[in-house]
Amino acid sequence: TGPSLSRTMGTGDSRRKFTVSVWVKRGKIPSADQNHIWNYHANPNVCALGFSSNQLRFYHYDSGGTFNAQYISTAVFRDPSAWYHIVVAVDTTLSTATDRVKLWVNGDRITSFGTQTTFSQNYDTHVGVNNYNALIGKYADGSSFKLGGYVANKHFLDGIAASETDFGRYNEDGVWVPKNYT
């Protein structure tokens, strides 16, 4: 398990819209553990993106013991030589429930989930609450669920539900590559 970053956040622009974009290269691939890439946390409330048993997982958990949203892909991501570009865009204001959380890996939208629970319409997430911690590469307690691998070109957009093409594109060889966010 490698190094990590954390920052105490101020009040955000919106608790209903945000986007996380990150390039990840897994190093240590545990068989049945969680590895957090990003999370927004104030105990016990957490919103997180990572891997669970090598499946992509996004979830939002609150102090009442409820998963207000949880997505676990059926696809697995366990190639330690591959870079994965992961984007999660949240917009709880949307009327179509399946569009409130969108996940992409390397330009392809993930639509097959073993677990899929979405936010209720206009739900106020924890993301954007003052004095919460934003963490990269670890869980809130600092010692568990660490990501073994590399993180690059990470973006967090407060108040914006962007798409995968805002951060990446296919090159002339058909390979998904990063591009500058504007």
CA neighbor of 1 nearest in space, from 110, 138, 101? 138
| Long-range CB contacts for residues 105-113, cutoff 8 Å, separation at least 24 | 105/56, 105/75, 105/77, 106/168, 106/176, 107/164, 107/165, 107/168, 107/169, 107/170, 107/176, 109/164, 110/56, 110/71, 110/73, 110/75, 112/73, 112/74, 112/75, 113/71, 113/72, 113/73, 113/74
pLDDT (tens digit per residue) in 18-73: 999 999 998 877 655 667 788 887 878 888 898 888 899 999 998 888 899 999 99
Q: Which amino acid is at 36?
A: H
pLDDT (tens digit per residue) in 136-155: 776 665 556 767 788 889 99
| Residues sharing a CB contact under 8 Å with residue 98, sequence separation 6 or more, in sequence order | 118
What is the DSSP-derived secondary structure letter of residue 166? Answer: G
Distance CA 38, CA 124 (A): 19
Query: What pLDDT is attached to residue 141?
Result: 58
- Residues 162-172 have a mean pLDDT of 97
CA neighbor of 140 nearest in space, from 67, 44, 22? 44
Backbone angles phi, psi at 42, to 5 degrees: -150, 115
